[in-house]
Structure 1
Amino acid sequence: MRKAFTLIELLVVIAIIAILAAILFPVFAQAKESAKDAAALTYVKQHGLAAIMYGSDFDDAIHLNLRIEGSSFDTWQGMCQPYMKNWGIMAHPKLRALPSDTSSAAWYYQARSHWASPLRAQAHGTAAPFGYYYFQSTSMTGGLQYRFDGVSGYGGPANAWGVRIPASSLTYTQVARPADTLLICEGGMWDHGMGFVGAQNPFNYFWLNGTWVNSALNVFATTNYIGPHARKRKVRCSGGDDPKAASGFPDCLGALPWPDGMTTLVAVDGHATGVNWRGGITGRINDANNVPWMKWHAPQL
């Protein structure tokens, strides 16, 4: 005679399954996140290869950050796209895919707002007289002023309101430490927020809500530096997802903390890697006058 399971035995089996699920589900979730991190590394590697191919066709010049010619304008993503032939890799794998309607504002913003290439200070009216930007934070730099600069220039008319000044990009051979100089990485908008406060329409839409921190179209950037995906700490967000949100995240409330996770980047020499934001991206290198610079943002030291 076949013996049936008793209620106790069934409960034991269910308990074992629940324990295994509690153990394995986080492992599966972590594996999924790791797969997305690997995809992000592959994406940014392709961005770098496309940028280098662009440079080989344009006298060794690094792409412009933004180009405006009359009513025509584009960011580096569009300039490098002929060498990628895939807009899909401009969407970060940890965020939602680009909208299917390529004529929509949401597609336009998101295609240019998951990855960024740092803008040269020479292209920014406030920073140009100095030749550098600066970053100063008690928690991040001990109150010291760290200088930093980008590699990509601006092609277009000067505009006082947008603090834009025409400036060429650096060439690949002008970069002193190509393996330690950032070319492209995860970012809250196409230029890491290193310039162009309210550039030509539609770019000024990134500033619709006024400040960097609370802008619905730039929700995970800070006042002057990189986001969003290096930022692992969660912040309180309002309900409702803005379909035009550049990062693909809903609008977040309150001031955001500095990032404390990893960011994925490709260097000027073309190698892609993951770098700890605090210890890597903001790492220090001193110039000949012993002035501190951000290691990954000192292209001519």
Structure 2
Amino acid sequence: MSINLRKQGFTLIELLVVIAIIAILAAILFPVFAQAREKARQTSCLSNLKQMGLGFMMYAQDYDETMPAAFILASPTGTVGINGGGRAEIPYEHQILPYIKNDQIFGCPSDAQPRPARGIGEFYDGAYATRRPLVKRSYGYVGQICTKEAAARGQWDDPNTGMSAWGQGKSLAAFDSPADTIALVEAYGRNENGEAETFYVGTPWGSLFTGCDMWKLAGRVKPSAAAIDNSTECTGDFTHPQKLPMPGHSKMGNYAFADGHAKAMNYGAVRQNDWRLFKLVKPTATFTP
């Protein structure tokens, strides 16, 4: 009787086949896992905006149906304030913070853009000037933006846009369709210094989404010289080689509306009809692009 003394085990070919199968499965599954993580971050970001939208509504109910101001001017104590100059612009997030109680919601989980080291003393009060780590802001409160309709009238900013005049929020009665009017946007686009322009909670810088800031929106495609994406006044912002839109969430951005609800939209939906979703009184005419 013969005895087979051969040890049982994997051959080199079998090991290579198993490794190849594992590598193929990893290549298939890792992007799925990454997409799932980003979807979770997008949902968390959308929840942030929803809470802020509700904060706007509670603020409006307490202030005679008036939205928060772009900035409230206040006289700080001591040397606190813009450059220690004896005055301070209080940004929107501190006006609604009493209704939210959590300043962490002002930062989107997907926002990994660097913030500038300059201007650290430009906080409206001492509490945030000395707080470490500083709280990032990923969202901009909508002010008056540039539109083709306004440019045709010779105006830089469209007075039919924006939640606030300078220092005074607008009445809800000024909106003919609050559910179709954007009040707050994700806007941590990268500027020419390689930094996010939404800066930090407690500073005025980047708290207001205004003028030609639309270049920051997720999904924006850099236009050619022959196809500028906005009125001619915004050409430099849209075509600047270092100014890049925020990454967003699979080219989607989250937005809060004047009635308090929030949703994700692509750039085309926000851009359509000359930024119609930013206009307070909706025009009957159709504008292109």
- Shorter-chain TM range is 0.5 to 0.7
* Residue 91 of structure 1, aligned match among 72, 93, 107: 107
Matches of 2:19 and 2:43, distance apart in 1: 35
Q: Is the partner of 2:173 in helix, strand or coil?
A: helix
Contact conserved, 2:59 with 2:99, CA < 8 A, in 1?
Answer: yes
Q: Report how far residue 98 of structure 1 moved.
A: 11
Which residue is equivalent to 2:186? Answer: 186
* Residue 53 of structure 1, aligned match among 55, 58, 62: 58
Q: Report how far residue 69 of structure 1 moved.
A: 2.1
* Residue 103 of structure 1, aligned match among 129, 136, 158: 129
The CA RMSD over aligned residues, in Å, is 3.8
Which residue is equivalent to 1:283? Answer: 272
Q: What percentage of aligned pairs have identical amino acids?
A: 29
Q: Report how far residue 265 of structure 1 moved.
A: 0.5
Q: Which amino acid aligns with 2:214?
A: I
Q: Which runs of 5+ in 1 are unaligned?
A: 122-126, 135-146, 156-167, 190-211, 235-252, 285-292
Matches of 2:192 and 2:103, distance apart in 1: 27
**Partner deviation per Cα, 1:46-71 (whole Å, 9 max, x = no partner):** 11001111111111100111111232
Taking structure 1 as reference, are residues 228 and 294 closer, same or farther at Cα in structure 2, changes over 3 Å only?
A: closer
Does residue 1:17 correspond to 2:43, yes or no?
no
Higher RCO by CA contacts (8 Å cutoff, separation 6 or greater): 2
Q: Which amino acid aligns with 2:275?
A: M
Taking structure 1 as reference, are residues 188 and 98 closer, same or farther at Cα in structure 2, changes over 3 Å only?
A: closer
* Residue 151 of structure 1, aligned match among 156, 160, 163: 163
* Structure label with greater radius of gyration: 2
Q: Is the partner of 1:15 in helix, strand or coil?
A: helix
Q: Report how far residue 232 of structure 1 moved.
A: 7.2
Contact conserved, 1:117 with 1:152, CA < 8 A, in 2?
Answer: no
Q: Report how far residue 298 of structure 1 moved.
A: 0.8
**Partner deviation per Cα, 1:213-268 (whole Å, 9 max, x = no partner):** 4145545999712364615779xxxxxxxxxxxxxxxxxx9343667932100111
Matches of 1:56 and 1:183, distance apart in 2: 16
Does residue 1:266 correspond to 2:256, yes or no?
yes
Matches of 2:114 and 2:270, distance apart in 1: 27
TM-score by length of 1: 0.62
Which residue is equivalent to 1:214? Answer: 192
Which residue is equivalent to 1:175? Answer: 175
Q: Report how far residue 174 of structure 1 moved.
A: 2.2
Select the structure that is richer in helix: 2
Q: Is the partner of 1:133 in helix, strand or coil?
A: coil
TM-score by length of 2: 0.64
Contact conserved, 1:63 with 1:153, CA < 8 A, in 2?
Answer: no
Matches of 1:227 and 1:35, distance apart in 2: 25
Contact conserved, 1:120 with 1:169, CA < 8 A, in 2?
Answer: no
